[in-house]
Amino acid sequence: MASNGKQQGVPGAKARVNIRVATPSDAEAIVGLVKALAAHVGDESQATITPQAMAEAGSSAHPLWRGVVAEASDRMVGICLYSILYSTWIGSPGLYVIDLYVEPDFRDAQLGRRLLAEAARQGREFGCRFIRLDVDHRNGGVEGFYEQIGFVRREGDSIFILKPDRFDMLAGS
């Protein structure tokens, strides 16, 4: 899910922002922003991840997430978390953006775009040639942000999720 609505004349937009690679030690702050994104789209109860689970998922030999974070005034104000996927149709790896979120006071600084650009640069190291992401329909206006960058909507695609209880049933546990 992603959020990067635009606000004019906010003080955060003028603050010095540092973008760097996310690490498992950032888990607590990352989870805070993931929960802020969930609240932004009205689905806070669905964001049940804990800092411990986040850190563990990013600490393995093959991390389940990677990302970049934006910091201003010694606190995290934005995240772009992604995983690497492979498209048999395109014939190359790509980035799947799991979450893109920028605190409201920092959205006027093109921080969402900067986070995506840095994630794309990192993705090149893995041979990535595209980005795929999902947008929550309740995240009003964000489509224009992505279209401005060059993203196109894939008409006809539907997202299906098999939640943990059904996953376990399917897997036979």
Number of domains the chain is built from? 1
Angle at 119 between CA 42 and CA 147, to 5 degrees: 60
> Within 10 Å of residue 20's Cβ, how many Cβ atoms?
11
Helix, strand, or coil (residue 133): strand
C-alpha distances out from residue 79 to 100, 106, 125, 129, Å: 6, 12, 19, 21
Mean pLDDT, to the nearest integer, of 139-167?
Answer: 86
26-67 per-position pLDDT tens digit: 999 999 999 999 999 888 888 999 999 999 999 989 999 999
pLDDT at 159: 83
pTM: predicted TM-score of the whole model, two decimal places: 0.86
Range of the domain at 12: 2-171
Answer yes or no: are the C-beta atoms of 70 and 76 closer than 8 Å.
yes
Q: Which residues pair with 66 in a beta bridge?
A: 82
User: Residue 123 has what pLDDT?
Assistant: 96
C-alpha span between 109 and 107 (Å, rounded): 5
Task: Write the pLDDT tens digit of every residue in 138-148.
Answer: 877 788 888 89
**Cα(65)–Cα(21) distance, integer angstroms:** 12
CATH, residue 105: 3.40.630.30
Flag the least confident range among 67-76, 120-129, 164-173.
164-173
Burial profile 124-160: b = 16 or more Cβ within 10 angstroms, e = fewer: eeeebeebebebbeebeebeebbeeeeeeeeeeeeee
Task: Give, to the nearest 10 degrees, the angle between helix 142-149 and helix 111-124.
Answer: 50
Element (H, E) at 132: strand 131-133
Share of the chain above pLDDT 70, in %: 91
